[in-house]
């Protein structure tokens, strides 16, 4: 059956996920966000990266008012305060 819907894929098949934390130096909220991102991603085995908003014009223009910003797979998940349970749910859906 060639055209099987993705709904029928087994749940055990892990999707490649990536969490991106957009932050700036000397930002306490960013430090707090990074602690949560490190913990959740560490627990779930999901890779994450930090990007410095002061080094990227495009990120600066898009997110300056909102940092820290957390992206999941390139889509904005949250900003300012990161909720551990909500991030965990987003990564295990």
- How high is the pLDDT of residue 93? 81
The structure's pTM equals: 0.81
pLDDT-derived band at 12, boundaries 50, 70, 90 = very low
Q: How many CB atoms lie within 10 A of CB 27?
A: 14
- The per-residue pLDDT for range 42-79, each reduced to its tens digit, is 999 999 999 999 999 999 999 999 999 999 999 999 99
In DSSP terms, 19 is beta-bridged to: 48, 72
Average pLDDT of every residue of the chain: 89
Question: Using CA atoms, how far apart are residues 29 and 74, in angstroms rounded to an integer?
Answer: 21
Q: Has residue 36 got a pLDDT over 90?
A: yes
Q: Which residue has the higher pLDDT, 28 or 10?
A: 28
Q: Has residue 4 got a pLDDT over 60?
A: no
């Amino acid at each position: 059956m060639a055209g099987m819907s993705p709904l029928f894929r087994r749940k055990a098949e892990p999707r490649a996920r990536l969490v991106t934390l957009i932050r700036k130096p000397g930002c306490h909220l960013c430090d707090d966000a990074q602690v949560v991102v490190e913990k959740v991603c560490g627990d779930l085995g999901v890779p994450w990266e930090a990007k410095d908003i002061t080094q990227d014009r495009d990120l600066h223009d898009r997110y300056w008012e909102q940092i820290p910003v957390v992206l999941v797979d390139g889509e904005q998940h949250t900003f300012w305060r990161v909720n551990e349970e909500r991030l965990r749910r987003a990564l295990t859906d």
